[in-house]
Amino acid sequence: MLGFDLTEEQAALQTLAREFAEREIMPVAAELDRMDVHDSFPWDVVRKGSALGLRTMALPPEWGGQGIDLLTQAIMIDQLAYADMSCCKIFSQCWKVSRHLSMAATENQKQRYIPPFVEDDTFVLGQAITEPDSGSDNSGYYETPPGEGLALRAERKGDHFLLNGMKHMIANGPVAKLFIITARTDPNASQVDGVSRFIVPTDTPGFSIGRIHDKVGFRAYPNAELIFENVRIPVEDLLGGKEGRDSEEWYMRTVSNIELSAHTLGVARAALDAAVRFANERHQGGKMIIKHQAVQNTLAELYIALEAGRTLLWRTAWTTTHHDEPNGLLASACKAFCADAARKITLGAMDLFGGAGVMRDLPMEKYVRDSLVMLHHAGGTQSIVHLKIGKALEARYQAGLGV
């Protein structure tokens, strides 16, 4: 039976996330946003969050985490992203990659790589697929012609692979201590058949960081180029112990869509809360602006978008946790809807502030910039996500299924 009341554990973790966000993130969010991206990584927030178990909580308890499910994760992300999407995503990127490792890695890989991550309060994780000439090609929407797409080469040399090439736009790029890297093991095959995933610690000789990207929003969550020059990776560090795509790829795409949707709604809720407060405190036309019906209508539309997104998000998270097969169609719809809703809500909320909406001493313009980045994020642009939904509907029709 599906219900919307939080369990005791979920309510406690929601409170933990809210209190941490209010105490440690809100006071520094604006400053982090304005800093040079080379210096803005919030190590202090990461250390303090680690002490509360925030960095590692998606790992199963036997590996030192709390085994939180995807709905609990979404509820916590909402609280953390309300304070700052960047600080939140640094933790949730660790949740995503550590969850992936705990599901797809061999026992030997887990024993070698998970304990160092758990024990080191500055151990941050990342995953790297995108390259300068291969972005939407990795969205899973279409197949690339043989040989096209990913170029980072992983050439087998006996008991190891040599990795040469580069990635770009990689989140936690300049700071992560370990990445899951997708590389081309067969240069002539398609991207489906010709790539494998590797576990790559960043202290491996030949690995280095290139340019750090300077984004309009989501600024303290750093993205960077990763450079590979004869990086020697033992065969045992093929994720899951074998060549080819890993077993959890489609599940992890769904997880990623859920996480990103939760971030967008966190920032949207912050913007809407601020707008409702402002409308109740700003006096124009002889009354508080909340008393003007045009303002009431705007707030109503923004609230409807937020609630619809939240309901879709919770259903997607719950379904993905409780069903055997990930529902890619639902997760794509969730990501597309929530990213659009956040754009609408943050822009609408900024508009209600009048001239103050574009002043940098208020967070409204930051909410807009942060939410815009989510339209360009992992899993594809909004256009690609819509194309995936269309393709999935076509497949359902051909399988004799309705919506």
Residues that bind ligand FAD (CB under 6 A): 126-130, 135-136, 139, 142, 169-171, 218, 223, 373, 376-378, 380-381, 383-384
- Which lies closer to ligand FAD via its Cβ, residue 125 or residue 299? 125
CB of 80 to ligand FAD, least distance (A): 17
Quote the CA–CA distance of 355 and 352 in Å, as a whole number: 9
Neighbouring C-beta atoms of residue 198, cutoff 10 Å = 22
CB of 294 to ligand FAD, least distance (A): 34
- Which lies closer to ligand FAD via its Cβ, residue 213 or residue 315? 213
- Which lies closer to ligand FAD via its Cβ, residue 142 or residue 397? 142
> Which residues on adjacent β-strands are paired with residue 180?
127, 199
R_g (Cα) of the chain, nearest Å: 21
- Which lies closer to ligand FAD via its Cβ, residue 231 or residue 352? 231
Quote the CA–CA distance of 119 and 209 in Å, as a whole number: 24
Q: Which two tokens stand for residue 370?
A: 């942060």
Q: Which two tokens stand for residue 88?
A: 């939140």
CB of 89 to ligand FAD, least distance (A): 8
The answer to whether 318 and 242 are in contact (CB under 8 A) is no
Quote the CA–CA distance of 252 and 247 in Å, as a whole number: 10
CB of 196 to ligand FAD, least distance (A): 15
The residue whose Cβ lies closest to ligand FAD is: 135
Quote the CA–CA distance of 81 and 150 in Å, as a whole number: 32
DSSP 94-144: HHHHHHHHHHHS-HHHHHHHHHHHHH-TT--EEEE--BTTBSGGGSSSSPP
- Which lies closer to ligand FAD via its Cβ, residue 335 or residue 357? 335
Nearest-10 Cα torsion for 12, 82, 330, 373: -150
CB of 126 to ligand FAD, least distance (A): 6
- Which lies closer to ligand FAD via its Cβ, residue 291 or residue 376? 376
Residue 380 is given by DSSP the state: -
- Which lies closer to ligand FAD via its Cβ, residue 50 or residue 127? 127
For 327, counting Cβ atoms within 10 Å of its Cβ (0-12 exposed, 13-18 middle, 19+ buried), the class is: middle
CB of 257 to ligand FAD, least distance (A): 12
CB of 252 to ligand FAD, least distance (A): 12
- Which lies closer to ligand FAD via its Cβ, residue 126 or residue 357? 126
> Which residues on adjacent β-strands are paired with residue 166?
227
Continuous segment of H or E residues that includes residue 336: helix 328-352
CB of 183 to ligand FAD, least distance (A): 12
- Which lies closer to ligand FAD via its Cβ, residue 266 or residue 357? 266
CB of 335 to ligand FAD, least distance (A): 12
Quote the CA–CA distance of 87 and 13 in Å, as a whole number: 17
- Which lies closer to ligand FAD via its Cβ, residue 21 or residue 152? 152
- Which lies closer to ligand FAD via its Cβ, residue 167 or residue 269? 167
In order of 52, 201, 298, 362, the CA distances from 20 in angstroms are 9, 29, 31, 22
Single out the residue of 105, 70, 80 nearest to residue 23, CA to CA: 80
Q: Which amino acid is at 399?
A: A
- Residues of the chain by 3-state class (helix, strand, coil), percent to 5: 55, 15, 30
The answer to whether 80 and 72 are in contact (CB under 8 A) is no
CB of 240 to ligand FAD, least distance (A): 19
CB of 141 to ligand FAD, least distance (A): 6
